[in-house]
Chains A and B, each alone.
Chain A
């Protein structure tokens, strides 16, 4: 590298030049021959253009109304702590809510029944859940698609065959797939909870079209999903009182799990990482001390020959 640079620059690099040629960038200026008047004109033009731009930006910012949404409040979830796992009883209840309420419009395409095993359901229960659903399979010997009861390996069936069908059935709005919804929305599970429990009457001046509802947490406020969760909308199998906020909390926890199925393993791994790395840090500190002990305590003497 050094040899290449030396060959390109020649001996010029080695000559002392007191920074006169390198340091003087003004020798490359093209404005040297300009008259005083031209310089003043161009300078004034630059200041005026810059000032006008700044005024326009300031005016634009002062009337920005695009951020008219309510940000969801941060809730203290049982999985909020750095070592805290998901509450699996809540995830299981959330699955009940999804199955009985959300699944009417929202798909959950990336979750399979086998994923429930050992998380919310036993293998026998997950098989029973799968068998309740008729899954389209095929083609058979005659080239026709057919329906069969679900198996553990099947993914959750979608309520609509495609997006166009979903839009046609929902007033033009597409109910998003919920598999990764907490990862895909600002505020994650806080947003889901706030959205599900935040329906209210539109404030004065807000006009909603037919089939729209008002929800301050939804960007824009006009949402095509009606309020779905009320007290006692469903009945929990484990006897938990099914208040609207309990339903919303459980389904938010469930959706947190579908978006981050590795959540618990990740937090368990954090404990292991902290353990191993504090051990390694101790060893590193000790070895540094050992190696530097002789370097720091040595003495170098120069003894000229007599």
Chain B
């Protein structure tokens, strides 16, 4: 039994597990995609964002 048929039998065969897989993978994709694009944006704008200068103004509370 190959990998694809194992995956099919374990996940995609039943609607319940299929729906669960869609929800979980959507969550995982969204998180990683946001992290990646945010890090690209911060890399491009290194030193310009509030995030990069705020430690100069924050005082310990």
Contacts and interface: CB of A to CB of B under 8 A. Distances in A.
Nearest to B61: A124
B38 A268 contact: yes
Interface string A79-99: 001011111110010000000
Interface in A223-261: 238
Contact of B59 (A84, A89, A124): A124
Contacts, number: 50
Taking residues whose C-beta sits less than 8 angstroms from the other chain, chain A's interface range is 20 to 34
Interface string B40-61: 1100110011101110111101
A85 B49 contact: yes
Contact of B50 (A119, A238, A267): A119
Given A89-B53, A122-B58, A124-B59, A268 B37 contact: yes
A271 interface: yes
A122 B40 contact: no
A87 B48 contact: yes
A124 B48 CA distance: 21
Interface in B13-59: 33-34, 36-38, 40-41, 44-45, 48-50, 52-54, 56-59
A23 to B, nearest CB: 60
A127 B33 CA distance: 35
A78 B48 contact: yes
B50 A272 contact: no
B48 A85 contact: yes
B44 A122 contact: no
Chain B contact residues, majority secondary structure: helix
Nearest to A264: B49
B50 A118 contact: yes
Nearest to B36: A275
Nearest to B40: A271
Contacts of B49: 85, 88, 264
Nearest to B44: A83
B48 A88 contact: yes
A84 B58 CA distance: 25
Contacts of A81: 44
6 contacts: A85-B45, A88-B53, A121-B57, A124-B59, A275-B36, A275-B37
Interface of A: 78, 81, 83-89, 92, 118-122, 124-125, 238, 264, 267-268, 271-272, 275-276
User: Closest 9 A-B residue pairs measured CB to CB?
Assistant: A85-B45, A88-B50, A268-B41, A87-B48, A271-B37, A83-B44, A272-B37, A89-B53, A122-B57
Given A85-B41, A275-B37, 9 more contacts: A81-B44, A83-B40, A84-B44, A85-B49, A88-B48, A92-B53, A124-B59, A124-B61, A267-B41
